[in-house]
Amino acid sequence: MSKVTLEWCREQDAEDPLRDLRNRFDLPEDLIYMDGNSLGPLPKGVAERVANTINTEWRTDLIKSWNTADWIKLPSKIGAKIAPLIGASAHEVISADSTSVNLFKVAAAACKINPDRFEILSEPGNFPSDLYMMQGLTKFLGGNYKLKTANRTGIIDAITEKTAVVVLTQVHYVTADMLDMVAITKAAHDKGALIVWDLCHSVGAVPLDLNGANADFAVGCGYKYLNGGPGAPAFLFVADRHLEAVEQPLTGWMGHKAPFDFVDAYTPNDSIKRMLVGTPSVLAASAFDTALDAFSGVNMADIRHKSLGLTKLFIDLVQQELSDYSFKNATPTDSNRRGSHVSLMHNNGYAIMQALIDHKVIGDFRAPNYMRFGFTPLYLGYEDVYRAVETLAEIMETEVWQDPKYSERGSVT
Amino acid sequence: MSKVTLEWCREQDAEDPLRDLRNRFDLPEDLIYMDGNSLGPLPKGVAERVANTINTEWRTDLIKSWNTADWIKLPSKIGAKIAPLIGASAHEVISADSTSVNLFKVAAAACKINPDRFEILSEPGNFPSDLYMMQGLTKFLGGNYKLKTANRTGIIDAITEKTAVVVLTQVHYVTADMLDMVAITKAAHDKGALIVWDLCHSVGAVPLDLNGANADFAVGCGYKYLNGGPGAPAFLFVADRHLEAVEQPLTGWMGHKAPFDFVDAYTPNDSIKRMLVGTPSVLAASAFDTALDAFSGVNMADIRHKSLGLTKLFIDLVQQELSDYSFKNATPTDSNRRGSHVSLMHNNGYAIMQALIDHKVIGDFRAPNYMRFGFTPLYLGYEDVYRAVETLAEIMETEVWQDPKYSERGSVT
């Protein structure tokens, strides 16, 4: 491999068809932000949209805005904007609640469809909330229900005639290892199981084709690569073939066929609205709705091409510049298996990451020893990646990370 | 009864110790807003708070703000502000999810505490989402679980040794009929049942003493009398004596003892945080947090005194001014049984309410024939009530409500 130079990176940026998309974001000038996989930055227009929601819709028009500002339609409108990013039709996607709550709803719904099977299959080391929610669900369903886990490398072999539903995160939140959605969905169906895909670390970063893969259900996060704001509403997908009969336990009034008839008996809405529960936050939904416009006209194939270019560049530069410092790459070098972030393992990872953040390169840390770096093609360029590794090399060389202040833990780390 | 005059109303306003609290809200000048029981108006400071959350915390400080801006503490901080309004300790209250989702959690938790009983008791005509959620819960718990309903007038007699938990809304969303929290809680406990109070139409409008009544659980809404903004996060209460052992099925990562250890097994937090599920919306929570400052230093006894004064004035004025027009009051005249809104029944209620709204008096309509008027002592005065009834009388006299445009239905009515 020839040495990667700053000039080469600049050439890549000059040729990048997505380079102007950075203008769709309001990023601090001096930061290299590599944590869009945890919290996407502020898209332009969001502050104005929320100010208008507060000052005109809420302040002036008050309760009327449920109709006049179409507040009631926000969950569907957001769903329709997400649909093309995940290979779904607009009527199969809706925004609601948190990812965890949505996971409970769709996994419970899948169990209802497969009533003679009692096993939910996932993987150890899945994003913890996914496992926790499935632990809560199986306990709550009682009887013979149980959560079984198998390593992702052997997940297909672990699907059996006992499996009711397979619940997997497509891109792993630490390693960025990407599962084969088509093959695993087919394997599940071959055994009569259903599948739920958690797209938290995929949506907006890698091309997705839920209907092409014949997926049953999916959930995903609004605040990572979709840039919907801190704690943005989540979304869920129900394949068209399940929409008519799907049942979920959180039967709130927003899921009713006629919520404003105020009748005592629950009748589910005919559409995906039956997956809604309570009244959604209009401030959060308004922010998310405008944030999604950052994807307007963007081709996900271009995103993927650049994402792989950025992550490969980072992996190569770490090898080239940091070979003295015992970093170990935890992320697949095979581009077919790599999502849009890279994790480096280092025993002093926490302190090194805090020093790096202090030097204006923002990544994050995941216990026990992972330094995560997210690469969002919408606003990061090749030179940014070069500068980030350069900064990391300086921090290692100067040993500035050994300053005790970088070992102090915050409540969220 | 002597005739109520505008002068008398003005005298009441002049003597009102709460009259300056209106300055805590950013209300349109020309409106009389009587729908704070459905969507509270914009408190001053909220727009600025949310703008700061977006432009400084999100835009500039990005992911760091989970620590530096204490985003992670918002659910507890909001809970601590609500606690004194409901007669609870700060550690017993937390903000999370929607009222419907919270109701599911606490009702499921109550069933776990009472594992040999399978009956959830509520009332027909309760706020529909409460009934719907209990229908969803009993169906998914399966086995012998069922929802039983009994009219609120006979609710105490309907509690038996079979009752696991009683789920009731203290102030009825249509009639404003207020249940005796102390007596019903005691009746439930006498039969070995637990109680869940839905405080959506109580909190912020009537004094509450959950611990004085020995209540077990409660849920409530952020966007009505608490003015937290459209679809604001909800809250829940768990009595201290249940906190150590309470179990709920939506075991998301925010409820974990150590969410940032990222371990596979769920261990509930020691505190009320175990009732949290997924990542909360920071924009929504920030708005709610500032909105609650409108209650700073306010005595709930003063609120109650004025609330009863306003609702009595309205009921009296309707009788005095509108006796020709077949309105029927659906709200208790007994002040011990009346919440902070009044519902009038009228066969043409929908069109009349639309005409009234068009004439700048904002109430709402609930099927089949209820016109609801909310009376929030923080920003409404006695003269406002007089003007509202005066406007309603004009609408009836001129028959302007018969204009066909007032019969057109919006999607949210």
In a shared domain, residues B219 and B235:
yes
Pick from A47, A249, A263: CB nearest B54 = A47
Nearest CA to B63 out of A35, A375, A284 is that of A35
Q: Cβ B253–A28 below 8 Å, yes or no?
A: no
Any chain B CB within 8 A of the CB of A333? no
User: How does residue B140 score in pLDDT terms, banded at 50, 70 and 90?
Assistant: confident
Give, rounded to a whole angstrom, the gap between the first and last alpha carbons of chain B: 36
Query: DSSP assignment, residue A377?
Result: T
What's residue B398's pLDDT? Answer: 97
Which of A33, A58, A225, A406 should be substituted to probe chain B, the one whose Cβ sees the most B Cβ atoms within 10 Å? A58
Which CATH number goes with the domain that contains B224?
A: 3.40.640.10
Q: Kindly report whether the peptide bond that precedes residue A368 is cis, defined as omega within 30 degrees of 0.
A: yes
Chain B residue numbers with beta carbons less than 8 Å from the beta carbon of A224 are: none
Q: What contacts A296, CB < 8 A, 6 or more positions away?
A: none
A329-388 pLDDT per residue, tens: 999 999 999 999 999 999 999 999 999 999 999 999 998 899 999 999 999 999 999 999
What's residue A162's pLDDT? Answer: 98
Contact between residue A382 and residue A13 where contact means Cβ atoms under 8 Å apart:
yes
The verdict on whether B224 is a catalytic residue reads yes
The arithmetic mean of pLDDT across residues A224-237, rounded, is 98
Q: Cβ B252–A412 below 8 Å, yes or no?
A: no
The verdict on whether A198 is a catalytic residue reads yes
Q: What's the CA gap between B146 and B148, in Å, rounded?
A: 6
Residue B240 half-sphere exposure toward CB, CA atoms < 13 A: 10
User: How does residue B5 score in pLDDT terms, banded at 50, 70 and 90?
Assistant: very high
What's residue A411's pLDDT? Answer: 67
Q: What's the CA gap between B219 and B379, in Å, rounded?
A: 25
Which of B106, B264, B276, B405 should be substituted to probe chain A, the one whose Cβ sees the most A Cβ atoms within 10 Å? B264
Contact between residue A165 and residue A106 where contact means Cβ atoms under 8 Å apart:
no
Pick from A98, A262, A277: CB nearest B100 = A277
In a shared domain, residues B63 and B208:
yes
Pick from B230, B250, B262: CB nearest A101 = B250
Return the number of CB contacts < 8 Å for A and B: 299
For residue A234, is pLDDT > 80? yes
Asked whether residue B413 is domain-assigned, the answer is: no
| Alpha helices for B322-381 (secondary structure H) | 349-358
The arithmetic mean of pLDDT across residues B67-92, rounded, is 97
Asked whether residue B173 is domain-assigned, the answer is: yes
Burial classification of residue B166, based on how many CB atoms lie within 10 Å of its CB (0-12 exposed, 13-18 middle, 19 or more buried) = buried
Q: Cβ A54–B135 below 8 Å, yes or no?
A: no
The arithmetic mean of pLDDT across residues B277-286, rounded, is 98
Q: What's the CA gap between A184 and A196, in Å, rounded?
A: 11
The whole-chain average pLDDT of chain B stands at 97
> Which of A273, A295, A317 is the last residue in one of the domains?
A295
The verdict on whether A162 is a catalytic residue reads no
In a shared domain, residues A281 and A327:
no
In a shared domain, residues A130 and A269:
yes
User: How does residue A1 score in pLDDT terms, banded at 50, 70 and 90?
Assistant: low
What's residue B2's pLDDT? Answer: 82
The whole-chain average pLDDT of chain A stands at 97
What's residue A126's pLDDT? Answer: 97
A101-135 pLDDT per residue, tens: 999 999 999 999 999 999 999 999 999 999 999 99
- Residue B207 is encoded by which pair of tokens? 């004094």
In a shared domain, residues A291 and A309:
no
How many Cβ atoms are within 10 Å of A413's Cβ, its own excluded?
16
Asked whether residue A35 is domain-assigned, the answer is: no
Q: How many domains, chain B?
A: 2
Q: What pTM did the predictor assign?
A: 0.97
Name the strand (E) or helix (H) holding A282.
helix A282-291
Any chain B CB within 8 A of the CB of A151? no
Any chain B CB within 8 A of the CB of A97? yes
In a shared domain, residues B123 and B204:
yes
Q: What's the CA gap between B270 and B132, in Å, rounded?
A: 30
Contact between residue B273 and residue B280 where contact means Cβ atoms under 8 Å apart:
no
Q: What's the CA gap between B135 and B236, in Å, rounded?
A: 20
Q: Cβ A230–B287 below 8 Å, yes or no?
A: no
A275-320 pLDDT per residue, tens: 999 999 999 999 999 999 999 999 999 999 999 999 999 999 999 9
Asked whether residue A126 is domain-assigned, the answer is: yes
Chain A residue numbers with beta carbons less than 8 Å from the beta carbon of B230 are: 53, 57-58, 65-66, 71, 279, 281-283
B207-221 pLDDT per residue, tens: 999 999 999 999 999
How many Cβ atoms are within 10 Å of B127's Cβ, its own excluded?
22
Minimal CA separation from A232 to chain B, in Å = 5
Q: Cβ B229–A54 below 8 Å, yes or no?
A: yes
Catalytic residue among B25, B33, B104, B223: B223
Q: Cβ B277–A100 below 8 Å, yes or no?
A: yes
In a shared domain, residues B313 and B269:
no
Which CATH number goes with the domain that contains B372?
A: 3.90.1150.10
Q: What's the CA gap between A143 and A17, in Å, rounded?
A: 55
Which residues span the domain enclosing A365?
Answer: 6-30+299-407
Rama region for A364: left / alpha / beta (φ>0; ψ in -120 to 50; rest): beta
Nearest CA to A309 out of A8, A2, A3, A7 is that of A8
In a shared domain, residues A237 and A176:
yes
> Which of A295, A322, A343 is the last residue in one of the domains?
A295
Nearest CA to B334 out of B312, B314, B302 is that of B312
Nearest CA to B80 out of B376, B288, B282 is that of B288
For residue B412, is pLDDT > 80? no
The verdict on whether B262 is a catalytic residue reads no
Q: What contacts A272, CB < 8 A, 6 or more positions away?
A: A76, A79, A91, A92, A93, A94, A238, A243
Residue B155's identity, in one-letter code, is I
Q: What is the DSSP string of A54-92?
A: IIIIITTTGGGHHHHT-GGGHHHHHHHHHHHHHT--GGG
Contact between residue A196 and residue A167 where contact means Cβ atoms under 8 Å apart:
yes
Q: Cβ B139–A59 below 8 Å, yes or no?
A: no
In a shared domain, residues B61 and B26:
no
What's residue A367's pLDDT? Answer: 87
Sign of CA dihedral B242, B243, B244, B250: positive
Asked whether residue B411 is domain-assigned, the answer is: no
Q: What's the CA gap between B107 and B249, in Å, rounded?
A: 10
- Residue B359 is encoded by which pair of tokens? 């004439």
Catalytic residue among B127, B225, B375, B386: B127
Residue A137: closest CA among chain B residues belongs to which residue? Answer: B249
What's residue B201's pLDDT? Answer: 98
What's residue A413's pLDDT? Answer: 58
The arithmetic mean of pLDDT across residues B32-48, rounded, is 97
Name the strand (E) or helix (H) holding B404.
none
What's residue B342's pLDDT? Answer: 98
Q: What's the CA gap between A110 and A117, in Å, rounded?
A: 10
In a shared domain, residues A348 and A373:
yes
B380 three-class SS: coil
In a shared domain, residues B124 and B153:
yes
Asked whether residue B317 is domain-assigned, the answer is: yes
> Which of A271, A295, A319 is the last residue in one of the domains?
A295
State the Cα angle at A77 between A74 and A79, rounded to 5°.
Answer: 110
- Residue B157 is encoded by which pair of tokens? 């007699």
Asked whether residue A229 is domain-assigned, the answer is: yes
B388-401 pLDDT per residue, tens: 999 999 999 999 99
| Alpha helices for B95-208 (secondary structure H) | 99-113, 128-141, 155-158, 181-190
The verdict on whether B16 is a catalytic residue reads no
Asked whether residue B406 is domain-assigned, the answer is: no
ipTM of the complex: 0.97
In a shared domain, residues A104 and A173:
yes
Burial classification of residue B296, based on how many CB atoms lie within 10 Å of its CB (0-12 exposed, 13-18 middle, 19 or more buried) = exposed
For residue B411, is pLDDT > 70? no
- Residue A249 is encoded by which pair of tokens? 């336990």
For residue B413, is pLDDT > 90? no
User: How does residue A173 score in pLDDT terms, banded at 50, 70 and 90?
Assistant: very high
Q: What contacts B48, CB < 8 A, 6 or more positions away?
A: none
Pick from B55, B142, B252: CB nearest A129 = B252
What's residue B1's pLDDT? Answer: 59
Any chain B CB within 8 A of the CB of A50? yes
